[in-house]
Each structure stands twice: as structure tokens, then as C-alpha cells.
Amino acid sequence: MFDKELIKLIGGNRKYVAYTVLLMVLGMLANIGITASICRAVHFLIEGAEPLAYIYPAATAAVSVAVRYTASRCTGDLKDLLGRRVKRDLRERTYDKILRLGVRSTDGMSMAGLTQVSMEGIEQLDLYYSTYLPQFFFSMIAPLLLFCICVGIDWRTALVLLACVPLIPVSIVAVSGYAKKIFAKYWGKYTSMGDAFLDSVQGLKELKIFKADAARHVKMNASAEEFRKITMKVLVMQLASTTIMDLVAFGGAGLGVALSVWGLMSDRLAPAAALFLILVAVEFFLPLRSLGSAFHVAMNGASAGKKIISLLNAEEPAWGEKNAAGTELRLENVTFSYDGKREVLKDVNMVFPERGMTAIVGESGCGKSTVVNLLVGAYKPDRGAVTIGGEDIRNVSRRSYYARIAVVSYNTYLFNDTVRANFELAKKGVGDEEIWRALEKVNLAGFIRENGGLDKAIAEDASNVSGGEKQRLALAVNLVADKDIYVFDEATSNIDIESEAIIMENVRAMSREKSVVLISHRLANVVPADNIYCMEDGRVKESGTHASLMRASGGYARLYTAQKQLEEGYREVTTNGAEVTA
């Protein structure tokens, strides 16, 4: 199986494949030299030659053994080098591609599937490139080279051996169609099982609370059983195809041996010549036999390779080369749909000035998060434009754009590293004093000092800090980044009132000098905004200050009033409950 797309994937590393093949050919020629030396010695023995006559075949054999050893060692080293370089290059390209895609994905690939393909899949491709590919080219060259050597000794035997060689690739082709389907299913089941396992681990708390862990256990067992069955099918296919190749290889070699013996008995061949053909007969089939054994590794690697190619070929958000000249953001007659059918945004116009707070509100599903995705460049509008400083962001370079904008959301990620390291990601070379000033602003300095200081390690998914502390720490990191535009996407969601108040105080202070875009489910937070866009069904229905929108008695006023009544009712119930308890 030879896939041009997979060959293109390794780029400049193809030269190592060529070097490996040349060394394998050299090793085979050394093997033939050893065989010829043995046959020559047998010939001298039959002829009763003088002892000095054996020096030549002995010297030839010694040189051939040295060449064979050196070629074998160098081949192994080159394969190892090829594998390591391919893995390094593919992992770099995959990681860079994921960074360029941002929040985008390929073929709906989940995080577990993406991890499996970029790790295990690349490991399988290592075997494809370092083992299968050199063997493929060597298997094409070796029988022809052996035929050229043997045809001068006995053309009948050489021709029969060469004619039997293609039976091995024919047997490989015969199972390749079935193998492709099996391995495609294999990777599908593999990634599906990984998704289910990751999902179960992440939701373990909920499974325990709802007492659904036993049912989930049964589901995981079913997924594992499906994977076991497809694995058994792969093994059965491998065993069956290996058996077929063995029959062809040993059958063909046996036929060559029989012809050589017949030639010896009919006095057509000398004993030494017949012995040479007998010993070399199996060499016609061993390269293709090894190729057949590597074929299953290749199929597995190729299946993973297709997914990696799909990832690397995924369409990236379009960016230009210009530098962003200003910081005023605009959405101009923007229409957007995720699937090309249902329009999520319809002719939306919004202005986010260089200074001040602009809020976007509306019921769930109205398009607020889609506006955020467009503002951060994750997607580009179907119609209309998103501009910065009057320039369409399609014409602005990615680096220039992201140098000006920061996003703080309800799920802003903190890395599994020290507090200092998280700040250094936002601003290279940031000093401890600047970090402490940012922590003071979000009222976290005392907590950090009492818990290990700036060397405190943040656990995976920030599990060793509270939700409010995580959000405030994320805000502090972004304060150090010192960007011109800050987008707060539900940054106060699911946190305590104290943390919410601290975050909003910083947001208001920031809006006096920078452009702040605020999306909040709690409308009390948007009251100080200089302008509020109220969205319904993907359109801007109203815009203005809080006071003007309340006077208009439209959708915003209804939302704000309803939410305020709910909050007052909750406080009343809470207060009464406290009195009863007292």
C-alpha cells in the first residue's frame, strides 16, 4: 500500500527513506557475497583444491560479513533517526495547526480523539515511515536484483522464482480492501472508547450523585467489548494474511529448490551453482514476506495518517498581513451561520469604541456568544465585516490582532503550573512586583501569600482553588497582559457575590482607559455600561444606555425588571429563612 499523501507528509525526511533502502540493498548484496563464498568453498572441496585456494572465498566471506554487520547497524540507526524526526516534525506541525485553528476543530473531532490521533496516531505513523516504507521500496528492488544475478546461472529457475514473487503482493491486495474497512472501524472504536472514558472520568462526581455510575459502568463495558471484537478481527485478518503469504513464500522457494535439484540431476547445473540457487531461492521472497508482515502496521498508521492529514488540511480562519492601526471594533452588517443554513446573526451592526464599556445582553441563544467568537477571530462572517481601526480583520495579521485583544470568560483556562508561570505566559519577563500589584487589584494577594506565594502550583483544571478565586486569578493574568481591548464573556458566571463585585469593580476601572466588551447574564452588571446592545433572535433590537432603554420599555426593560424581581424575591426568601432559623 503506497499513499502519496502520506509520503508528502514527511517532506524533507524522504531522503532518509532513500538512504535506508540503499543500505538494505547493500546488506542483501553482502548476504549474497557470503552465500557465493560458501558455494565457492564447496566447489573447491569437490574439486580437491589446494588449501591456499580457500583464502579467496574466506576473505570474501569476511568482508561480506563486515559489510553486512555495518549495513544492518546503519539501517537500524537510520530507521530510528527517521522515526524520531518524523514524530518530532508531525507533532510540531499538529500542535502549530491546532494553535492556528484556535477554537476550531476538524471533522467534529473531540478532545479525546484529537489527543489520541496526535499521540498514538503519530506513533503508528512512525512505524509506517521507518519500517513499512523502506521495506516497500526494498521489496520492489530486491527480486529484480536477485533475478539479474541468478539468470546467468540458470534462467529457468530465475524466471520461475521471479514469476512467483508477485503472488505475495497479489495476496496483500486481496485483503487490502477488507483491511482498510477494518482499520477505519478500529480507529473509530478506539477514539469512541477514549471519548467515553474521558467523559466518564470528567463526570464522575455527577455519576455518583445521580447513582448512575453502575449504568455508566455497563456502557463502558459495552464500548470496551466492541473494541475487543474489532481488535480480534484485526488479529484474525493478520493471521490469515500471514498464513497466505507464508504458503506463497515457502511454496515459491520450494519450487525454486526443486528446479535447482532437477538441474543438478540433469547435469545442467554444477553442484556449487545448484547450491547457490537453493540458498538464494528464499531471498526472492523474504523482502516481500517482511513487507506483508509490516502491511498491517502500515494500514493502522495510514488510518491514523488520514485523520492527521484531515487535521492539517482543515480550513483556518483567514488572516492578512497588515498591522491593526486602531482599537475601535465594529460589526458592519454581519450575517453568520455555523452550518451554512440557519443564520445565527442577521445584519448585525455594533460599535465598540476605543474607550468605554459596551455590553451585549439577551436571552440564551440570541447570538451573544457568536458575536464573541467573531470578535476574537475564531470565525469570519458570511456577509459583512468585523473591523478594527476601520480595517477588516481579514486583512490584519493574526499576531497584530491578538496583540491588542484579550478574552476573560467563565471557563478561562489556567495552566497546570505555578502562579508565576501563568503570569509569564501573558507577559514574558513580568516582574514579581507587577504580579503582586495585579493580585492586589483582584484581592488575591493575601490568599496567594498564605498558600505558597508565586510558586504555588495551580492544579489541573484549577481544582485546588475555588471558582471565584480562579476567575479573579484569570482576570489578574489578563490585567498584566495589558491589552487595548478586553472581552468579558460571562466572566462572573457561577461565582460568589464577593468575587463578582471585585471583578466588576476592575472592569469599570479598566473601561476608563480601554475598550471593554461585556457579556453578562446578570443585567445589574451592565447598568454602568456606556452602551448596551439588546439582542433577540440574532438581531440587535435595541441599543442605548441603561436609563434610555428602561424609558423605552422594550425587551431590555422587561428582562431587567423580571430579573430584578426574581433577585428581590430570592433575597426576601433568604432573609425570612434566616429569621425562622434564628
At 205, which CATH number? 1.20.1560.10
Amino acid at 176: S
Give Cα 31 to chain centroid, integer Å: 42
**Dihedral (Cα; 375, 379, 384, 388), 10-degree rounding:** 30
Q: Which of 165-169, 222-226, 323-327, 395-399 has the lowest mean pLDDT?
A: 165-169
d(CA 331, CA 348): 7
Is 560 within a domain? no
Judge whether 487 lies within some domain: yes
The answer on 372 and 270 residing in a single domain is: no
Q: Which three cell numbers stand for residue 254?
A: 520450494
Instruction: State the DSSP code for 396.
Output: B
Q: Is 80 exceeded by the pLDDT of residue 342?
A: yes
**20 plus 155 within the same structural domain:** yes
Distance CA 361, CA 518 (A): 9
Residue 321 placed within a domain: no
Q: What is the pLDDT, as a whole number, of residue 250?
A: 81
Mean pLDDT of 424-451: 90
Q: What's the pTM value of the predicted model, to 2 decimals?
A: 0.65
Higher pLDDT pick, 194 / 353: 353
Out of 81-95, 285-299, 402-416, which region has the weakest mean confidence (pLDDT)?
285-299
573 within some domain: no
Q: Which residues contact 53 (CB under 8 A, 6 or more apart)?
A: 44
CA 260 to chain centre: 54
Is residue 503 predicted with pLDDT exceeding 80?
yes
Q: Range of 522's domain? A: 329-555
- What percent of the chain clears pLDDT 70, i.e. is strictly above it? 90
Same domain, 305 and 351: no
Q: Is 330 helix (H, G, I), strand (E, B) or coil?
A: strand
Residues 88 and 150 in one domain: yes
Same-domain status, 146 and 290: yes
Give me the mean pLDDT over the 341-362 stretch. Answer: 93
Return the C-alpha torsion angle 210, 211, 216, 218, nearest 10: -150
| 53-111 residue pLDDT tens | 889 889 999 999 999 999 999 999 998 888 888 888 888 888 888 777 765 544 455 56
- Kindly state whether residue 497 falls inside one of the protein's structural domains: yes
Shared domain for 368 and 417, answered yes or no, is: yes
- If asked whether residues 277 and 233 sit together in one domain, one would say yes
Q: How confident is the model at residue 565 (pLDDT cuts 50, 70, 90)?
A: confident
Q: Which cell goes with 336?
A: 453568520
Q: Classify residue 488 by its DSSP letter.
A: E
pLDDT at 353: 95
* Region 553-569 average pLDDT: 87
Cα–Cα–Cα angle for 505, 506, 508, rounded to 5 degrees: 65
Residues 293 and 346 in one domain: no
- Specify the CATH number for the domain of residue 485: 3.40.50.300
Beta-carbon neighbour count of residue 93 at 10 Å? Answer: 17
Domain membership of residue 572 (yes or no) is no
Same domain for 223 and 249? Answer: yes
* Count of domains observed in the chain: 2
Mean pLDDT of the chain: 84
| Domain endpoint, select from 281, 312, 343 | 312
Look at residue 575 and tell me whether its pLDDT is greater than 70: no
In this prediction, residues 159-181 reach a mean pLDDT of 74
